[in-house]
Amino acid sequence: MKALVIHGKQDLREQEWATPEPQDGQVRVRIAWGGICGSDLHYYHEGANGAFVVREPLIPGHELSGTVDLDPSGELAPGTPVTFHPATFGECQPGLEELPHLWPKGAYLGSASTTPHTQGGMSEYLVVTRGMIRVLPEGLSLKRAALTEPLAVALHGINVAGGVEGKRVLVCGSGPIGLLTAAAALAKGAREVTATDVFEGPLERARGLGVHHTIRIGEQTPDAEAYDVALECSGVPASIDTAIRAVRRAGIIAQIGMMGAGPQPLELAMLISKEIQLRGCFRFNQEVDEAIELLARDDRFDQVITHEVPADRAVDAFATAKDAQVSGKVLVSLWPQQQGT
């Protein structure tokens, strides 16, 4: 089969790869669409995602959709449209029984955090365990379904924050995760949603989703204590400081954006004096199912997709995805097949 393979910093190749054969309890899927995530960008542009270095050929991709190619059990017919929960959970720990995404020694599609690396799905075929498969409801296109994983990340952040219904919400950062977070907050009944970014392009896309206000950081500043909840999606310390100033006393900040390892400079005195709760968010648990339901009934999420690039132009796709001014979510079309609309 064909696959997109990262060999190191800015070394992405289309090459032949052994077609995987499903074993008992596994399903082979022909991949239609693969979204480019922030971790994929780090692996390609830097050869590493934080501490996780590409030490062997790595197929990226965990934002995926496709159709069943072969299910040895016969449960899923060929052609069944599906997406994935991309995690393999690790070892359960006391107190974490209901939080498998936090169990240590887990794995994630398209990740160099394990040795050997856990291969992703930017390839013609992918074999996964049956429990990772999610069958799509009728009417949900494969293209929109490729947003399932990042939307689940957004929904997990909202859930960690305690929900947004009836609340004044600040979304810090309007990249793909920020856009999905803003759209999800609107869909889940937020009273008011304000989106921030340093670039005008992302803010224009946020307005297209229907947010109530946008703020261009560097030219404007969110009003102090004007929000009940901040959903921080950029992972930039200065943006977290903005959220600390912007949320009300006893407000909540859900830290959705990933940050680099090591110490981070944050203005914590105000967080303490206002009794703000800063809550970490890591991937998601079962929000993948909620994401599928939301995508099936709300076509506004299509607007988050700004580029669809064929696999033979994957290097261009990764360059475009790095340009926050021009791109929201960039999808790669993984070789000719029935992709849906």
Query: Cβ-count burial of 132 within 10 angstroms (0-12 exposed, 13-18 middle, 19+ buried)?
Result: buried
Q: Centre a 10 Å sphere on the Cβ of residue 125 and count the other Cβ atoms it contains.
A: 22
Is residue 140 within 8 Å of residue 149, measured between CB atoms? no
- 116 domain-assigned: yes
Q: What does the pLDDT read at residue 337?
A: 57
Complete DSSP assignment for 272-325:
HHTT-EEEE--S-SSHHHHHHHHHHH-GGGGGGEEEEEEGGGHHHHHHHHH-TT
Q: Going by C-beta distance under 8 Å and a sequence separation of 6 or more, which residues neighbour residue 114?
A: 107
**Residue 56 domain boundaries:** 2-135+299-333
- Biggest CA-to-CA distance, the chain: 59
Q: What does the pLDDT read at residue 336?
A: 66
Q: Are residues 231 and 309 in the same domain?
A: no
Q: Are residues 275 and 303 in the same domain?
A: no
Q: What does the pLDDT read at residue 259?
A: 87
Give pLDDT tens digits for 72-129: 999 999 999 999 999 999 999 999 999 999 999 999 999 999 999 999 999 999 999 9
Q: Give me the percent of the chain exceeding a pLDDT of 90.
A: 95
Give pLDDT tens digits for 240-252: 999 999 999 999 9
Residue 59, pLDDT above cutoff 80:
yes
Q: What is the pTM of this model?
A: 0.96
Angle between helices 148-160 and 176-187 (to 10 degrees): 60
Q: Are residues 9 and 68 in the same domain?
A: yes
Is residue 115 within 8 Å of residue 17, measured between CB atoms? no
Torsion of CA 126, 29, 143, 15, to 10 degrees: 40
Beta strands 168-172 and 192-197 are parallel
CATH classification of the domain holding 305:
3.90.180.10
Is residue 199 within 8 Å of residue 192, measured between CB atoms? no
263 Cα distance to chain centroid = 24
- 147 domain-assigned: no
Q: Going by C-beta distance under 8 Å and a sequence separation of 6 or more, which residues neighbour residue 228?
A: 167, 168, 169, 247, 248, 251, 252
Q: Are residues 269 and 304 in the same domain?
A: no
- 338 domain-assigned: no
- 142 domain-assigned: no
CATH classification of the domain holding 175:
3.40.50.720
Give pLDDT tens digits for 259-284: 887 899 999 999 999 999 999 999 99
Q: Give me the percent of the chain exceeding a pLDDT of 70.
A: 98
Give the count of domains, the chain: 2
Give pLDDT tens digits for 201-238: 999 999 999 999 999 999 999 999 999 999 999 999 99
Mean pLDDT of 32-51: 94
Determine the Cα–Cα distance for residues 311 and 318; give it in Å rounded to an integer: 11
